[in-house]
Amino acid sequence: MKAKISDPRQRLLDTATELFYNQGYRATGINQVIREAGVARASLYLHFASKEALLIAFLQYRHQYWFDALKTWTEKTAKPKEQIMAAFDFLHDINEKEHFRGCAFLNILSEMTDKDAAVLQVIQEHKKDLRAYLGHILVKEKQALKDQVYLLFEAAMIESQLYRHQWPVQEARKAVSGLL
């Protein structure tokens, strides 16, 4: 059984993280977050100005969690090709751990409208950071190859969620190996 966290802000963030990721932002009511976090309504608004502010905090939290996990996989070796292959191994692993739920950022993006500019900006920054990170690993390669690796990584993530299977990750990994 999980130990109860005493910090109401962290309980709200942990609860929102689980609910927004697993059932979606729009499908998650603020009353459900408050109830499952075991906090008073006033605590929510003390720590987060709105449901959107809680969403942005979730995305920032997820960004840090996801990149920390990716770096754990890729930084086990210093060789760029092995680091990129490890990035695809990370996708394989996270698919298993998270039951093919996919990219939290793209899942949220599918729920946003043009009015959600602040959320869109956080999502775009996450993807820019991923593209830059993979590009940094491939620092000696041409930009076109860096972009191809990024796009294959993204496609593998999306398609494995769609098919709830690892074959897209495995095929993208093979394609990238051939490109490198």
pLDDT at 4 over 80: no
Instruction: List the domains of the chain with CATH numbers.
Output: 1-48 (1.10.10.60), 50-179 (1.10.357.10)
pLDDT value at position 141? 97
pLDDT value at position 1? 35
Return the percentage of the chain with pLDDT > 90, whole number.
97
pLDDT value at position 93? 98
CA 168 to the chain's CA centroid = 18
Closest CA to 177 of 153, 144, 143: 153
pLDDT at 2 over 50: no
pLDDT at 86 over 70: yes
- Measured in residues, the chain has a length of 180
pLDDT at 77 over 70: yes
pLDDT value at position 6? 82
Amino acid at 21: Y
CA distance linking residue 180 with residue 92, whole number of Å: 20
CA distance linking residue 127 with residue 50, whole number of Å: 24
pLDDT tens by residue, 104-149 = 999 999 999 999 999 999 999 999 999 999 999 999 999 999 999 9
CA distance linking residue 44 with residue 110, whole number of Å: 25
List all residues 6 or more positions away from 33 whose beta carbon is below 8 Å from its beta carbon.
12, 15, 16, 19, 44, 54
pLDDT tens by residue, 48-68 = 999 999 999 999 999 999 999
DSSP state of 78: S
